[in-house]
Amino acid sequence: MKGGDAGALMLIYRPFERNDRICVARFEGIVVEIDLRHTTLETEDKKILIPNSTLFTSTISILGCKTESHKKEKK
């Protein structure tokens, strides 16, 4: 799947949102940005750019939400 197509589907289906802590393809971090080409995760010491095509075809573990209001919305 092409990056732009996967990005559009990620934005439509929203399996996670900004400030969620996720683990995918051996990477773990806080989602800080989602766009059509990639999703940016942030750790304590770096930023990780993951192509949305990887996210769309991989298992995603949602490990938690950073904000209390977001936790309530997820329930």
Give me the DSSP letters along the chain: --HHHHHHHHHHH-SS-TTEEEEETTEEEEEEEE-SSEEEEE-SS-EEEEEHHHHHHS-EEEEEESSHHHHHHH-
Per-residue pLDDT of the chain (75 residues; tens, 9 = 90+): 555 677 788 888 888 999 999 999 999 999 999 988 999 999 999 999 999 989 888 999 999 986 554 555 555
**CATH of residue 23:** 2.30.30.60
pTM for the model: 0.78
Residue 3 has phi, psi (to 5 degrees) of -55, -45
How many domains in the chain?
Answer: 1
Structural domain range at position 32:
3-74
